[in-house]
Structure 1
Amino acid sequence: MACLTTVLLIFVAILAAATKLINPNTKLHPRRKMLKKLQRNLRSLALALSSVGAMAKLKILLAFLQISQAFSTVYAVHFPSTLTSWTWILGIFRMQYWFFPPFHCTNLSYENYILTQAMLPLAVVALVMAVCVALSLSRAFEVSSRMRVWANDFRNLLVDHRQGHRKGEKDVGKRTGRDTKSSANSKAISSGDQGCRISNAARMSIAACDPPADPPSIRAKAAVTTGLLVALPFALYITFFFAAPICCDIFRSWLCESYQVDVTELSQRAFLRANLDVVCSDSQNDSKEHDSITRVSLWLIFVWPVGMLILYAGLLCACKNNIIGRVRSQLSDATIFLHRDYHDYAFWWETFELLRRTTLVGWVLLIPHEKQFIRLITGLLVSQICLTVLLLVRPYKMHSDFQLASLSQVRILCCLRQPVNLVVCGRRAHVGTCLLAKHLKQP
């Protein structure tokens, strides 16, 4: 796992360097010809991918994979292996595969495991933000120190020129026998063999023309804002990728399954499916361990499903006027991942998509396991509503993105519709069999 983590970190570093080179504000030294050539090639590649809507298609496919992989866990729907054999691809991108081992490979309690797994991506985001803010602060105060050094050098240069001219005047006076004294209101500044005269008032105005430095508090505030805006795209990438899987793991704290523990009394007891050592709390049993897990999960719900939804909505509302008016700003450029692929009137669509994903893989798990059919019906209704809204709003700029999104949601709808049909047909067959048996028993 350490080797895999190292490989992933190297890949992320290369990706970050490529992103930095693609940035239009990045300017390289003219002597770095190889880097400038690589920069041109990367910008051409980014432009080509942007022209075909590669980012939008990648987001649609990722959402479809995350929802499809949760079918067996959330809805207890099992498809033939020939249809689900390709889902191993998404397992490679799970956090347990690279950074964090599975629960059974750790010595942590399930409560601490859920807490660590949910907070690890946020810790990475906080670390990146802290580094960006520190670099921005260092850059801001380094510029001000350079300005002060430049001003001091300019004053020293004036003093050196003045002293050099006075020495030259004394030498000339000695040779010609004349006393060359400067006037009361003017002095000479010598530059080699030639000089120019400036008055004391002009010299004072030159000294007053030094660029005034802002107060440290204002510079620090501007630097912190710049650093946060630089790290914001990375934070959006991380939250988008990990939102659905982490929400599914959080809501699995309420996913219990009943088992028969006593054959003679035919009594059943519910256990946590993710960790069968934990007994679930219900009307008959009270488990302190499960209650502690659910309390932690409740706090994490406000951090991930609810918190990320509020974060996306707040960022989009903050730059709403810039998006609709097509006026660039620092915030709109930093949040371009959320609204670049959609029409101006549908700038909020990414928030709706996040709500759809977290509902289908997370919120429906609050429905008890005994009411599995109701959970399946709820997922089916949510998918139908989301597909209807997609067809009415048509938020995507590119028609190919709209077609791919519609196709993925139709596929999810069919996957949820099939088990509902099987359950309904099975119940009808059972009712028909009972009626037939009752009819045959009658004389």
Structure 2
Amino acid sequence: MSVAEQLDSRGADPRPATPHQLRTRSVVRSDRLIDLLPREQAVAWVKDDEGLIGWGELGRLEVKGPDTFVQASRWWREQLAEIAVTDEVGLPGTGAVLFVSAAFDIRTGASVFVIPRVVLGRSGTRTWLTALNDEQPQLNIDEITGPGAVRYADGAQSAAAWVSSVAEAVDRLRAGDLGKVVLARDLMASTAQPVDARYLLRRLADRWTECWTYGLDGLVGATPELLLRRTGSRVTSRVLAGTAARAGQGQDEAVGRELLASAKNQDEHRYAIASLAETLAPFCSSLDVPAAPHLHTLPTLMHLASDVQGELAGDPDLLSIIDAIHPTAAVCGTPRDVAIDLIAELEGMDRGRYAGPVGWLDTAGNGEFGVALRCAQIEDRALRLFAGCGIMADSVPEAELAEAQVKLLAIRDALES
């Protein structure tokens, strides 16, 4: 019996339901998670067919300002006080779940927090359903069609203007104003038909199996960067900084060696690791930071990657940790405040939720958050695609543009396939 059949056929629980009762129970594994998303109010966080999808809204918060995560944490606690949870599975991601897509700059950008009415989760061989008031959710899996012809146009800056912005950033870096800055550019796309977010999510999940495919409130993408995972008292982060385009069969090994030997990319990576370690350490009793990065290979790119692990001291609120560590130098720069100001000056755009924290947390404080990379914001027939590059004092602006173009291919290929 498929998940859909089981959800439609199981009997109602005889226990009386309160207006805010959530029940988590095991279901039989069958369909691929990403294929079960309905069209409306859908959220997703999936990697290699494990993770969470959800739909409907039990609660929703949109907020901006420097105390965004403080407000969200307070709101989450208030919501939980009104929810009775019966959890028959007891794994990370069961019970009530809060999905998060925060702005890159929470001071000026709106962040979105959603508690779904229904969540379907999978970890290994276990699949579970969490539903409000023990509802019997109907999975109306309709046919998904592509958006048709796609046309592209410059976003905030043309390619030439963005190259000039990178050159200006290099001048600032050489003058000693800062050590690193990450500059992003956007690309506008228009389609013949309205874009169904599920169309992109399925194609991203098909190809980018080593990434977390995510979707919330029109922002869809596949990120290779794990900002923070918390399981009990253990935290893990995968930092990516330093990038090279793959060169094809027989040449990738040489590209990888060159990337590992590149002083520019190694320095860029060290800044990213240092910024994470500095902000995460106060929450931890121990923190293991690798001495050197390893190669992380994706379909079109190679990254320098480091997996940082720590043991939490006490029981800090996960949103408080995210608030402290974001934005890292991997998506912003260093020093952080100087980099944020330079980004605002040179990019000429509002990043919105691009490069912001995206993920989920549960009632036990477990959760997974990535950085919203390789993504697009969907508005009917219009999309806004994003890509960014770490700029150093020895960066070549034209090379950074080429790297950004390769990063944009993740969404472009999914959109055009």
| TM norm structure 1 | 0.19
Q: Which has the higher strand share?
A: 2
Q: TM-score, normalised by structure 2?
A: 0.20
Greater share of helix: 1
